[in-house]
Amino acid sequence: MISRALAFIIRLSYVSIDIGCIFLSIFLASWLRQAAFPMTLQELFFDASNPFHLVFVIWFVTVLFFNAVHHLYQTRREVIEVHEIGQVIRSILFATGTVLIFVYSMKIVGFPRSVFLLIVVFTTVLFCLWRFLKRLFVEFLASNGYNNFNVLIIGAGRTGMMLDQEIKRHPGLGLKVVGFLDDVKTTTELGPDHKVLGKLSNLEEVIRKNFVQKVFFTIHPPGNVFYDMIETAKDLRVAVRVIPVAFDQAVGDIFKFNIGYIPVLEYFELGHNRMQYGKRLFDCAVSGLALVFLMPVFVLIGLLIKCDSKGPIFYFSSRYGRSGRVFKMWKFRSMVADADAMLGDLKAKNEVDGPIFKIRQDPRVTGVGKFLRKYSLDELPQIFNVLMGDMSLVGPRPLPLDQVEQEDPKQLKRLEVRPGITGLWQVRGRSDLPFHRLIKWDTWYINNWSFWLDVSILLETLPVVLKGKGAY
């Protein structure tokens, strides 16, 4: 763990970099507006006769103050980059408002608003840029074992397994799962990659033997057991994290507030309805551009399919869309022409759980089809479905009609939004993901949709597709 002295040095270096960014921002703004604002940095900050001297001093002080208030002089690896960038923008807005109030209340005449606007923009950009680079550096160090934390997960059920998987998917967090505590599950049952180190009553012993620094509760033990375990962790100076029950049902971020001194977690508000504003416009713009740039790829794939096997270039499959509307989903044909007629003889060989049918060595797949499926190139024609309004770029994957169980409310939840070309299922494991996990991620996506979530999934899709893992 980082010592207090080192932590102080790190904070001091963060402040110093911010000060340098502010100086650079003022220099750039003054240089760009030399004709309207012919002042040197010395005149700006150290010339008492300069009428704007105090304004820029206050800008320095308020920006650094609000950065500290928004916890920008520490790096919490568990907090995503977007949150930190949001805190930077909030800090700049508060500081800007404070300076403007000072200027107008003190009636400072001739204040260079254009110069100040440039300073605000440059400061914001530089703050965001260096923090993004800092996070890359911190994640690199953590991924290589620097300042990692030993983690113990309480509960080896579905949520505990999901947490373990997510921690392993993000090595930049610097978290190392040493094992689980569970009163029911065993290592034999879970497999060698998931060690059950004991029962809940063994908490103190396991913490000491494995030098645990963080404990994650994914279950809530009954009675006083939960309270006693937290007390034990606190006495051993171990950080405690609690995963909210049914977190995937939350609409947006789980909001915390207090009624008196009682903390409350708000999953959703009465009558709340998350609208996907701007999603359709974004889909049309991106898919239209993609279609223009990918047209040569379409032609090449079409020629390869025709040369490889008899049959049409495209395959059309009936799928359920938003609100249960049936549409024809486009795909490049990756199987022999009579593949649907052969399905009945193969269903007994299904390798995935739930209603989905998948087998790794499907005899119906053509030579070119194997390549197309591995890199998801067979899905590219769904851009036409997006333009026609049947699908979205990001959303739950549409299932064939016979694979949707209409009596299952959890499955029907997926039909509240347009299905997508890619989604959390694609970036979390594709065909290797169990069906119940697919439903869980799709539900979480619907409840937590945002424009930036779509952008994040699109950016994550490309490296997943290039690796070709979990596709068959």
Q: What pLDDT score does 346 carry?
A: 76
Shared-domain flag, residues 139 and 172: no
Band of the pLDDT at 349, cuts 50, 70, 90? confident
Q: How far is CA 259 from CA 32, 247, 265, 270, in A?
A: 52, 21, 11, 17
Domain for residue 40, yes or no? yes
Q: Quick check: 99 pLDDT over 80?
A: yes
Pick from 110, 143, 176: which residue ends a domain? 143
CATH number at residue 222: 3.40.50.720
Domain for residue 83, yes or no? yes
Q: Do 194 and 131 form a contact (C-beta atoms < 8 A)?
A: no
- Between 428 and 336, name the one with better pLDDT: 336
Domain for residue 393, yes or no? yes
Q: Quick check: 461 pLDDT over 80?
A: yes
Shared-domain flag, residues 373 and 402: yes
- Between 293 and 78, name the one with better pLDDT: 293
Pick from 93, 110, 143: which residue ends a domain? 143
Shared-domain flag, residues 27 and 104: yes
Q: Do 207 and 233 form a contact (C-beta atoms < 8 A)?
A: yes
Q: Quick check: 134 pLDDT over 60?
A: yes
Shared-domain flag, residues 287 and 189: no
Shared-domain flag, residues 129 and 78: yes
Pick from 113, 143, 173: which residue ends a domain? 143
Q: Do 435 and 406 form a contact (C-beta atoms < 8 A)?
A: no
What are the strands of the beta sheet with 175-181, ordered from one edge? Answer: 196-198, 175-181, 149-154, 214-217, 239-242
Alpha-carbon distance of 127 to 203, in angstroms, equals 42
Shared-domain flag, residues 418 and 462: yes
Residue-range definition of the domain harbouring residue 426? 279-467
**Angle at the Cα of 153 (from 148 to 158), degrees rounded to 5?**
125
Domain for residue 293, yes or no? yes
Encoded tokens for 456:
């994040």
Domain for residue 263, yes or no? no
Band of the pLDDT at 32, cuts 50, 70, 90? confident
Summarize pLDDT for 200-241 with one digit per residue, the tens. 999 999 999 999 999 999 988 887 888 899 899 989 999 999
Shared-domain flag, residues 109 and 162: no
Least confident stretch, 126-140, 187-201, 283-297, 393-407: 393-407
Shared-domain flag, residues 13 and 98: yes
Q: How many domains does the chain fold into?
A: 3
Shared-domain flag, residues 176 and 218: yes
356, containing H or E segment: none
Q: Quick check: 177 pLDDT over 70?
A: yes
Shared-domain flag, residues 93 and 135: yes
Summarize pLDDT for 247-290 with one digit per residue, the tens. 766 655 677 767 877 777 777 665 444 556 678 888 999 999 99
Shared-domain flag, residues 452 and 333: yes
Q: What pLDDT score does 272 carry?
A: 47
Shared-domain flag, residues 137 and 115: yes
Q: How far is CA 394 from CA 239, 248, 276, 315, in A?
A: 36, 18, 12, 21
Domain for residue 228, yes or no? yes
Given the structure tokens 């060698």, which residue do they identify?
A: 192
Alpha-carbon distance of 449 to 432, in angstroms, equals 24
Domain for residue 174, yes or no? yes
Domain for residue 379, yes or no? yes
Alpha-carbon distance of 187 to 290, in angstroms, equals 47
Alpha-carbon distance of 344 to 444, in angstroms, equals 33
